Amino acid sequence: MKFGGKEALQFMGIEELEKQFESLPGTLQRNVLRKAVAAGGSALVSSIRKHTPKLSGTLRRSLKKKPSSKWRRSRAMSAAGIIGIAIGHDYGIGPHSHLVNYGHTAVLWGLETGGWVSGNNYFAKGIKAAAPSVRAKVTAKARQSLHKAVVKQASMAGKI
C-alpha cells in the first residue's frame, strides 16, 4: 500500500481494507494511520513499563511517547509522508534510564570503585515482548478507524 509515494502501512493480508484505504482522501488516510500508530505506541510503552525495574518509581513514569507531529523536523517529516511515534524516557524525570538499561561503572560516595554494574536491557526486552500485542493493536485500531473514516467520507459525499 502506498501513501504519497512512500510505504505507509501494511494491513496483514487484508485486501478489502487496503482497497477501502486507497479510496480515502489523503487527510482521512493520515487520520487512520495516526490512530493506528498511536495505539501500537501505547501497547509498546505499556510493555516496556512492565519490564522496567522498579527502583524509585520515576523510571517507569519517565517513559513517554511523542508523535511525529511534535518532532523537531515535523514539517519535513510530514512532507515526506512519515507518520510515527518516538518512544523514550523524559530525561527531566528519569535521567538515569540509560545507566539502568546499559550498565555503568560503580561510583560510591563520589569515588569510582572500578566495578561494573551491568544493565538489564529492559527496553529491548519490552520491545521484543510487545511485538505480537503491538501488531494486534495496530490492526484492530486501523480497522476501527478505517470504518469510521469510510463512513465519514460517505456522509461528506452525501451518500448517508
Q: DSSP string of 53-86?
A: --SSSHHHHTEEEEEGGGSTTHHHHHHTT---EE
The amino acid sitting at 140 is A
Domain boundaries, the chain: 2-156
**C-alpha closest to that of 96 among 46, 49, 48, 56:** 56
Number of residues assigned to the chain: 160
Q: For residues 95 and 48, give the distance between their C-alpha atoms in angstroms, rounded to a whole number.
A: 17
pTM: 0.76
Q: For residues 98 and 59, give the distance between their C-alpha atoms in angstroms, rounded to a whole number.
A: 10
Q: Which residue has the higher pLDDT, 152 or 9?
A: 152
**For residue 76, is pLDDT > 90?**
no
pLDDT tens, position by position, 85-143: 888 899 899 898 999 999 988 888 888 787 898 889 999 999 999 988 998 898 888 88
Residue 101 neighbours by CB under 8 Å, 6+ apart:
119, 120, 121, 122, 123
What is the number of alpha carbons within 13 Å of residue 47 lying toward its C-beta?
A: 21
C-alpha cell at 146: 478505517
pLDDT (0 to 100) of residue 160: 54
The amino acid sitting at 81 is G
